[in-house]
Structures are given as structure tokens and as C-alpha cells.
Amino acid sequence: MSLTPPTVFIVDDDASICRSLARLVRQAGLDGRTYPSAEAFLEAHPAPPSRPACLVVDLQMPGLSGLELQQRLLESHSSCPVVFISGNGDIPSTVRAMRQGAVTFLTKPFDNDDLLRAIGEGLEKHRATLAAGQQVSSIRERMKTLTERELEVMSWVITGALNKQVAAELNVVEKTVKVHRARVLEKMQAQSVAELVRLCALVGFAAAEPS
């Protein structure tokens, strides 16, 4: 499938740890990259990754802490999973990290296999999230090409309403609805109303309410 291996971003202020972790993930066939601080990582990757990746972050760091980095990622809608490592973490930090969606939280010294397992899990999750996200944005793109009227018609069509009923709702003639309906199916690249319903469900497009 993908010729390039997934990426593992290692963020730790301890250069020797960075080196050793990078060596570990590269031996596992992954693309390991290191950053001495959260700021350095954010600067290098202002946008969420578009290919499978995983972060390995130290909890305590000068400047932005690991938790704050995770927070920033969440705010930028990055779905990149985070694995925490820490020498002297506490339970409240662990809880916050996990509540914010961390894959896991390892305490030093940790087993290398545990870390690789966690990274693998994160990558797998990210792969799934990216795939779902791409499908959603593809649908959203098509939806953008719809005119307001077509959107309106679509919201009625996916309720299963007859053309006649839609026409009554919009105060137009049935024939007009037919035209819009056909254009909606064409633009959304749906072969049937059933498929259209599924597409709308995937992007959370709500059906209209009977007035």
C-alpha cells in the first residue's frame, strides 16, 4: 500500500532520550523524527498530519508541557494520537492526558515493547481516523457544490418525502423538485436516494423536520 512508513514524532527535551527512542522506532521500520520541545514540534508541523503518525511526548518539558501540547493538538482538530512518557508523573496528569485521548501513559523506565505496542495502536487508530476523515471531507466537498435550494431539497428528500410533499413545503411545483432532486443526486455522486441518505448520515447532515 503505502511505500513510505508511518511517522513517529518524538518530543523530549532530553536529547539522549530522543536519540534512543528514534533508534528504537527506526528499528521497528518506522520513520522517527525528534523535537527538543513542544514549540519546536508545533512550528515544524502547524497543520495536522495527513498521513498515519503518532506522537511520543514527554510530560515534563521546559516551555509548553506535554499536556499543553496535547491540548493544542486537540484545538487544531488534529487526530494524531499521543503516547505519553514520564519520569515522575502523577495521577491527575495521567487522568487529564487519558481524558484528552492519549493512547497510554508510560512511566520511565518503560519496556521498549510496551512503547512500540502503544505506538502501533496509535498508528492504527490514526489510520482509521484519517480514512474516515477523508471520506467525510470528500462528501463535504460535493455538498459545497450544491446551491441553497438544492440543499433544501436534499434535506427533504433524505426524509423519504415524496416530490409532491417537498413541493408543498417549498411552495413550488412538483416538477421543479424533480429537477433539483436529480441535480442533487448527480452532484453528490449518489446512485440512489438510499445512498444519498448514507452520505448525509456520514457527515451528520440532518434531515428536515415536517412543518
Binding interface with a second copy (CB under 8 A): 86, 89-92, 94-95, 98-99, 104-105, 107, 157-161, 191-195, 197-198, 201, 207
Look at residue 148 and give the partner it binds from a second copy, DNA, none, a contact being a CB closer than 5 to 8 Å depending on partner kind: DNA
Residue 149 within binding range of DNA, rule CB under 7 A: yes
| Whether the Cβ atoms of residue 78 and residue 57 lie closer than 8 Å to each other | no
Site string for DNA, 12-41 (x = CB under 7 A): ------------------------------
* Distance from C-alpha of 27 to C-alpha of 3, rounded to nearest angstrom: 17
Look at residue 45 and give the partner it binds from DNA, a second copy, none, a contact being a CB closer than 5 to 8 Å depending on partner kind: none
Which candidate, 106, 124, 16, places its Cα nearest to that of 59?
106
CB nearer to DNA: give 17 or 185.
185
Q: How far is the CB of 147 from DNA (least distance, A)?
A: 3
* Distance from C-alpha of 70 to C-alpha of 61, rounded to nearest angstrom: 13
Residue 9: strand, helix, or coil: strand
Q: How far is the CB of 4 from a second copy (least distance, A)?
A: 30
Q: Where are the alpha helices (DSSP H) in the chain?
A: 15-27, 38-44, 66-75, 91-99, 112-144, 148-157, 163-170, 174-187, 193-202
Residue 105, H or E segment: strand 104-107
Which candidate, 109, 56, 114, 47, places its Cα nearest to that of 78?
47
Residues 89-148 that bind DNA (CB under 7 A): 147-148
Residue of 17, 40, 172, 208 interacting with DNA (CB under 7 A): 172
Q: Residue 195 contacts by C-beta under 8 Å, 6 or more apart in sequence?
A: none
Look at residue 195 and give the partner it binds from DNA, a second copy, none, a contact being a CB closer than 5 to 8 Å depending on partner kind: a second copy
Q: How far is the CB of 65 from DNA (least distance, A)?
A: 49
| DSSP letter assigned to residue 86 | E
Residue 194 within binding range of DNA, rule CB under 7 A: no
Q: How far is the CB of 175 from a second copy (least distance, A)?
A: 21
Point out which residues bind DNA (CB under 7 A). Answer: 147-150, 162-164, 170, 172-176, 178-182, 185, 193
